[in-house]
Amino acid sequence: MSSQLIQGNEACAWGALKAGVKFCAGYPITPSTDVVELLAQELPKAGGRFIQMEDEIASMGAVLGASVMGEKAMTVTSGPGFDLMQENIAFGAMAQLPCVVVNVQRSGPSTGGATLPAQGDLIQAKYGTSGDSPRIVLYPNSVEEIYRMTIQAFNYAEQYMTPVILLMDEIIGHMRENVDLEGVGDVEIVSRRRTDVPPAEYRPYAADETGIPILMPFGSGYRYVVQGMHHDVNGMPNTGAANVDATIRQINGKIDRHKERIWLWEEKETEDADILLVAVGCVSRSALEAVRQARRQGLKVGLFRPITVWPFPEEPLARALAHARAVLVPEMNWGQLIHKVKEVKPDAVKAVGLNKYDGTLIMPEEILKVIEEVRA
């Protein structure tokens, strides 16, 4: 096994190929483009197809078209492109079509700064679409983890039958780290469930005890309607109150019910932490360094790092806050993650934000400075 210097964006493409991606549609946008460039090169060799569509709306549509055929499909974008994808992401959530949407975040709003890192799309990744729909959002913090979380994103999409968002940081997308992809080990690869009930008895949207529907690929002998309008168990339009209620319960409930299996997080020195840092992605690496330095000074500082951002790992965070007097949330935006942290923290715990939105990374010293202020 040999390790090699790999860029975060490349690791994403290799992870997708490992997960079995067979279709990618995309539209170029910095800082995400390397992912589709590599997929354009590699997908044909894996028996898959890549197409550059006319825009991100079309990319997201084509991806869901491939998904309805049973294929593992993905698209890759950044800020403004992610904005354009929202309507079809909601379609995927409503129609319960799996796919992976990678958003290598850049500084916004709007065109903002194409190569400037930022963490401004945390809330949008969950709440960017109309109506109530679930979202699984994963947020890796290293090149190796990008590889593993891309696979995980496909696994969750296929298992829970919903679009999964992989949020990345420009910094890590463009960073090179030594990774041994083969050494990452035997990662489990999940594909959507199938059924062998006779077509006449098949009810695509009648979920079983798991709460998750089994959608047979189009062309496999099962004929039904897949649509974004409220629909009955056959997929036919139905806006009756009981049916609408059942649909909303199903698409949201299937994630709620399984959230404990979807939650991924990492804790460092949380056991006795009286000051807890909560950070994601590139900022969590500065936060970890801040924890190390603080511990050297004898301070009880710990780090809680959500990897699954949505559904938010509420209970694990609540446990990590057991000894905390204060929780410090450094993030590269105006304040997004902190809202969720405030919802979870007990009243007695003080929540402090450290927000930076100038297109540069939050450094460990900046975090240490706020730790000092919080202690004072």
Partner 1 sequence: MSWKDYIKEDMFPLFTCAGCTHGTVTNAFARVADELKLDKDKTVIVCAIGCAGRIPTFLDFPVLRVTHGRALAFATGIKLSHPEMKVVALMGDGDALAIGGNHFIHAARRNIDITAIVSRNEIYGMTGGQYAPTTPPGARATTAPYGMLEPAFDTCKMAAGAGATYVARTDAYHVQHLQRTLKTALQHKGFGVVEVLTSCPTQFGRRNKVADPAKMLERIKALTVTQAQAERMTPEELEGKFVIGEFVNTSRPELTEIYARAFAGMGV
Q: Judged by CB under 8 A, which of 20, 30, 49, 112 binds partner 1?
A: 49
The span from the first CA to the last CA of the chain, in angstroms, equals: 50
CB 79 to partner 1: min, Å: 20
In contact, 73 and 67? CB cutoff 8 Å: yes
Per-residue tokens: 265: 């997080």
CB 89 to partner 1: min, Å: 10
Q: Under the criterion CB under 8 A, does residue 19 sit at the interface with partner 1?
A: no
CB 13 to partner 1: min, Å: 16
Q: Under the criterion CB under 8 A, does residue 28 sit at the interface with partner 1?
A: no
The residue (of 183 and 240) whose beta carbon lies closer to partner 1 is 240
CB 205 to partner 1: min, Å: 14
Q: Under the criterion CB under 8 A, does residue 58 sit at the interface with partner 1?
A: yes
Binding region for partner 1 (CB under 8 A) out of 105-113, 163-171, 228-236, 285-293: 228-236
What whole-number distance in Å separates Cα of residue 56 and Cα of residue 60?
6
Q: Under the criterion CB under 8 A, does residue 47 sit at the interface with partner 1?
A: yes
What whole-number distance in Å separates Cα of residue 42 and Cα of residue 346?
49
Q: Judged by CB under 8 A, which of 20, 30, 65, 174 binds partner 1?
A: 65
What whole-number distance in Å separates Cα of residue 90 and Cα of residue 325?
39
Q: Under the criterion CB under 8 A, does residue 51 sit at the interface with partner 1?
A: yes
Q: Under the criterion CB under 8 A, does residue 44 sit at the interface with partner 1?
A: yes
Q: Which residue has the tokens 């969590």?
A: 284
Per-residue tokens: 322: 């057991």
Q: Judged by CB under 8 A, which of 11, 19, 35, 64 binds partner 1?
A: 64
Cβ burial, residue 104 (10 Å; 0-12/13-18/19+): buried
Q: In what order do the strands lie in the sheet with 136-138?
A: 49-52, 23-26, 73-77, 99-105, 163-169, 136-138, 308-310
Q: Which residue has the tokens 């409930």?
A: 253
Which residues fall within 8 angstroms of residue 108, CB to CB, at 6 or more apart? Answer: 79, 80, 118, 120, 121
In contact, 337 and 312? CB cutoff 8 Å: no
Q: How many residues bind partner 1 (CB under 8 A)?
A: 46
What whole-number distance in Å separates Cα of residue 277 and Cα of residue 264?
17
Does residue 7 sit in helix, strand or coil? strand
Q: Under the criterion CB under 8 A, does residue 236 sit at the interface with partner 1?
A: yes
Q: Under the criterion CB under 8 A, does residue 223 sit at the interface with partner 1?
A: yes
What whole-number distance in Å separates Cα of residue 164 and Cα of residue 93?
9
The residue (of 129 and 308) whose beta carbon lies closer to partner 1 is 129
The residue (of 74 and 171) whose beta carbon lies closer to partner 1 is 74
Binding region for partner 1 (CB under 8 A) out of 102-110, 116-124, 149-157, 232-240: 232-240
The residue (of 42 and 274) whose beta carbon lies closer to partner 1 is 42
Looking at residue 297, what DSSP letter applies? T
State the residues that interact with partner 1 by CB under 8 A: 22-23, 25, 44-49, 51, 53-55, 57-69, 71, 73, 87-88, 91, 218-229, 235-237
